[in-house]
Amino acid sequence: MLGEIRHDWTCEQIESLFALPFQDLIFEAQRIHREHHSPNTVQMSTLLSVKTGACPEDCAYCPQSVRYETGLDRESLLAVGEVVRAAQAAQAAGATRFCMGAAWRTPKKKDMEVMTTMIREVRALGMETCATLGMLTREQAQELRAAGLDYYNHNIDSSPEFYEQIITTREFADRLDTLEAVREAGMNVCCGGIVGMGETLHDRARMLQVLANLPQHPESVPINQLVAVPGTPLADAAPVDPFDFVRMIAVARIVMPASYVRLSAGREAMSDELQALTFLAGANSIFYGEKLLTTGNPDATRDRGLLARLGIAPESERGAAHA
């Protein structure tokens, strides 16, 4: 029965959800959403790039790769005090979770020393903490958890079959190894993917199948719409059909009922009406603030105005969802 938490989805079953008439799909997603979450709340996170550019990976979508000329200014690791001030500003604006992202393949020992200090300082503000730092060893995951890190973000990006067309400097299995290390350390997992990179519907279904069939569903599932950045190999990628994007949100909600489904990258280009449809389809988390690592995001005033028009309150103002 749809709405049960399960870990045995077949790709064919997930593809059949995508094939439902649009209104039937949205109805099921909203019904399931209300079973597991407060219907008119959204969890708000702010993401800060604490180290920008010069990443050795070749992810075809990413302007931070050292392999592409995107005009991005490289920045070394920020000072702890600067990060704490940014977290304080995010908290004052309504964010409950502060995410720190660094463009590394994997953090070095000296990087870990600074990151663990950042995590402790942000945690001391009373905010949830999240980080995305690349691949982790089990020892690094344990170290981050000991510092108080609540969530670790490590997206699988796409299906195992399509993955090699987007990234060649690491394997899909490397992503899963990091997720396993994070789980073993006792942290929550933030893991999703990207649509609009040229993948097929089957690839989208396979990506969700991998996530839904993990031993434990990710607590947060960011669904990113590709931001086609000039200078990257995907600069000329065709835009995603808005209804197809809403279907992706709805199917993610159905196969991972208790997870937070986050409307993530690409939101700056979305109309208010499209965003409202994604909330109806089960999205209940957003990144809040004017920048996502290196790409744009709607400003806080616009977000507040849209949520008010829809009668949706930040989770911190209405109480946590009852999932």
Catalytic machinery residues: 55, 59, 62, 99, 130, 190, 262
**Cβ contact 97:289 at 8 Å:** no
Compute CA distances 316 → 17, 29, 97, 111, 321, whole Å: 32, 24, 10, 32, 10
Q: Supply the DSSP symbol for 43.
A: E
Pairing of strands 220-225, 193-195: parallel
Phi, psi of 190 (to 5 degrees): -115, 110
**Cα torsion 226, 229, 232, 235: sign:** positive
Q: What angle do CA 290, 286, 58 make, to 5 degrees?
A: 70
**Cα torsion 297, 294, 252, 245: sign:** positive
Separation between Cα atoms, residue 41 and residue 198, nearest integer Å: 33
Q: Supply the DSSP symbol for 240.
A: P
